[in-house]
Chain A
């Protein structure tokens, strides 16, 4: 059974700082890994999808890496802004339905 863990649970940084969010998973036989952003009381917005054949994926100030052998993924946010404040969730598909198994998220606060 796939288990996904995210560390830290919460993070507070000053504006402009570069930061790294961590995600680990127990079953390395994954097809891909997806990072999401969730604002309070809202749904999930997909940020990046990394296929199992890729090691990195970039979108603007975001860069996600995937290391299947170690069961880890990281989300790197460059030059953080107050608008980046949100909960960040990683998820890996499992099962015949390829349903997503989520971590509990990292709640990020970027202070102006």
Chain B
């Protein structure tokens, strides 16, 4: 098991473009979380999946954001019509019991 894997590591995009990130959790973990982290702050919760069901969404997750976890395995986070304020580190975490295991994150820069 190689832990939680996130791709790409870095993404630079022009304002208004759509971007998609992928997260591969630890295989036996049924819970998957997405967080966003801006410079100098702790990560903030975006959304949560238990298996393939998206059960919780933060108010931070605007209509331009959508997440999926087909078949309860990997997950994707898509941002449509990106804005400069979307520039951040996007972190994925998975868990089976207590505690989260995080991936290395995807750094998004919107220019």
Contacts and interface: CB of A to CB of B under 8 A. Distances in A.
B103 A43 contact: yes
Contact of A43 (B40, B42, B105): B105
A100 B105 contact: no
A95 B58 CA distance: 11
Contact of B56 (A4, A32, A99): A99
B45 interface: yes
B99 A97 contact: no
B38 to A, nearest CB: 11
B51 interface: no
Contacts of B100: 34, 46, 91, 100
Contacts of B101: 46
Chain A interface size, under 10 / 10 to 19 / 20 to 34 / 35 or more: 20 to 34
Given A42-B105, A97-B56, A32 B43 contact: no
A76 interface: no
A81 interface: no
A36 B43 CA distance: 11
The binding surface of chain A is classed by DSSP as strand
Nearest to B49: A97
Chain B interface size, under 10 / 10 to 19 / 20 to 34 / 35 or more: 20 to 34
Given A4-B42, A42-B104, A46-B99, A99 B48 contact: yes
A31 B98 contact: yes
A19 interface: no
Contacts of B105: 42-43
Contacts of A60: none
Interface string B66-83: 000000000000000000
Contacts of B62: none
A51 B96 CA distance: 15
A63 interface: no
B22 interface: no
B21 interface: no
A21 to B, nearest CB: 13
